Amino acid sequence: MKDVRTHVGEVLALFREHGELSRTDVIDLSGLSRSTVNQRLAALHSAGLIEEIGGGESTGGRPSSRFALNRSRAVILTADIGATGFVAAVCDLAGTPLRHTSVSVNVWDGPHPVLTAVDAAFDELLAGGGATGADEVWGIGIGVPGPVEFAAGRVVNPPIMTGWDRFDIAGWFAARRAPVVVENDANSRAVAEARLRRHDNLISLKVGTGIGSGLVFNSAIIRGGEGAAGDIGHTRAAVADGAEGLPCRCGNVGCVEAYASGWAIIRDLDALGAHAGDVAAVVGLVRQGDLDAVRLVRQAGRVLGDAVADLVSILNPETIVLSGQLAECGEVLLSGVRERVYQRSQPLATRNLVIGVSELGEVAGVTGLALITADRILGTDQIDELLERIDTV
């Protein structure tokens, strides 16, 4: 299928990966002939997917035009839903959030109230676009704190998402007439961090009310057979060995979450008579230097470090990046993770390992969702469909 190889999607992918490129760059990178490249560039340019940017001189002194992805050609709507709230954003085609908002909502209230609030946030964000106003929506990315059957776009048996099991999330947004991608929240963060850092092998740990991990290796999300890969929060915590494990909200005992998550720390603070209503309050206590809160978060870091240390030995990531509300504790949480990972993992696997906190902060999830959604709609499989849609608009 030679046609597939010379597809416009492949040329567009070069711009998404490399940024600005000249005609000659595209010929060199793609290995396509000049005439084929000219055709592809013309098709992408007339669809408004790439734009010409001046500058650069060819060797003969003639101005040589350069092109780049026209990131503002359309927008992608994204919502990163956590246990106690979501961040919604309007993003450009390069995955950058243009406007975003945070909304408090309990995910266990079920899909109807939560997705109604997401829809309202999308409308508000789109209306905030100023004079141009009518941003064209090309895709929607929804992140959820639970296991996702990616191909079907559904959540399956989520431990904390009461009422969401197999709910048709894509169908909910059908009126917006754009493809919908549903992704696990830790996976979307992993993609954002891997692309931003240009690291092909990365583990993202999301530590908020619960704990999840996303694994990007050889630049692709590891989903496993059913999409359930990475559920580190419900693996067995090292501290539980030989002892009666603490009960977890998944129904099991001795899970990593039962020791190291936001809800576990809130439980332990309660037992000490220090009431922290939510994870933000825990972070507040840590920042004030509250000794119990600092000790519990440091210990949570050690439990997390133990949990991830074996993964480091097995998979040899270049980076481990922590995000989620509890990651706002910074070094207090990180030090425990580092301590255990360096103690327990193979020296070669940790020689150049970077362990840090996400620099994207609260937009880590929506950024990753926009990138994953852009991969879908601008990818070689779907780009024809998109170009047809553009033609008929």
Min dist CB 262 to Zn ion, Å, is 14
Please say whether the beta carbons of 250 and 231 come within 8 A.
no
Which one-letter amino acid corresponds to residue 21? L
**Residues 216-235 within binding reach of Zn ion (CB under 5 A):** 234
Q: Is 203 helix (H, G, I), strand (E, B) or coil?
A: strand
Give the binding range for Zn ion (CB under 5 A) out of 132-140, 243-251, 265-273, 346-354.
243-251
State the burial class of residue 123 (Cβ atoms within 10 Å of its Cβ: 0-12, 13-18, 19+).
Answer: exposed
| Residue whose token pair is 């850092």 | 197
Contact call for residue 246 and Zn ion (CB under 5 A): no
Q: Which of 255, 304, 309, 366 binds Zn ion (CB under 5 A)?
A: 255
Is residue 371 within 8 A of residue 360, CB to CB? The reply is: no
With vertex at residue 85, the alpha carbon angle to CA 83 and CA 87, rounded to the nearest 5 degrees, is 120
Q: Report the distance separating Cα 67 and Cα 60, nearest Å.
A: 19
Does 264 help bind Zn ion (rule: CB under 5 A)? no
Closest contact distance (angstroms) between CB of 235 and Zn ion is 9
250 lies in the site for Zn ion, by CB under 5 A: yes
Measure the CA–CA gap between 385 and 176, rounded to whole angstroms. 16
Closer to Zn ion by CB, 31 or 247: give it. 247
Helix pair 291-315, 331-344: axis angle to 10 deg: 40
- Of 257 and 362, which CB lies nearer to Zn ion in the complex structure? 257
Smallest separation, CB 250 to Zn ion (Å): 3
CB of 233 to Zn ion, least distance (A): 6
Q: Which residue's CB is nearer to Zn ion, number 252 or number 313?
A: 252
C-beta closer to Zn ion: residue 248 or 276: 248
Burial class (CB in 10 A: 0-12, 13-18, 19+), 240: middle
29-58 mask for Zn ion (x: CB under 5 A)? Answer: ------------------------------
Which residues within the stretch 359-388 sit at the binding site for Zn ion (CB under 5 A)? none
Q: Which is nearer to Zn ion, 91 or 307 (CB)?
A: 307
**What is the greatest pairwise CA distance in the chain?**
77
Helices 8-18, 364-378: crossing angle, 10 deg rounding:
160
To Zn ion, the closest distance from the beta carbon of 234 in angstroms equals: 4
User: Is residue 248 a contact residue for Zn ion (CB under 5 A)?
Assistant: yes
- Whole-number Å distance between alpha carbons of 209 and 279: 6
Interaction residues for Zn ion, span 163-182 (CB under 5 A): none
For Zn ion, give the closer residue by CB, 114 or 237.
237
> Which residues, numbered 198-217, are part of the site for Zn ion (CB under 5 A)?
none
Instruction: Report the nearest approach of Zn ion to the CB of residue 256 (Å).
Output: 8
Contact with Zn ion (CB under 5 A) among 24, 38, 39, 252: 252
Closer residue to Zn ion (CB): 65 or 299: 299
Pick 195 or 234: Cβ nearer Zn ion: 234
Residue 120 contacts by C-beta under 8 Å, 6 or more apart in sequence? Answer: none
- Least Å distance between CB 307 and Zn ion? 12
Does residue 167 contact residue 285 with C-beta atoms inside 8 Å? Answer: no
Q: Considering the complex, state which of residue 103 and residue 250 has its C-beta at the smaller distance from Zn ion.
A: 250
Q: Regarding beta strands 154-155 and 97-104, do their DSSP bridges make them parallel or antiparallel, or are they unpaired? A: unpaired
Count of Cβ atoms closer than 10 Å to residue 222 Cβ: 15
Residues 6 or more apart whose Cβ sits within 8 Å of residue 381:
9
Residue 64, number of CB atoms within 10 A of its CB: 16
Size of residue set near Zn ion by CB under 5 A: 5
Instruction: Compute the least distance from the CB of residue 254 to Zn ion, in Å.
Output: 8
- Min dist CB 185 to Zn ion, Å, is 17
Instruction: Give residues in contact with Zn ion (CB under 5 A).
Output: 234, 248, 250, 252, 255
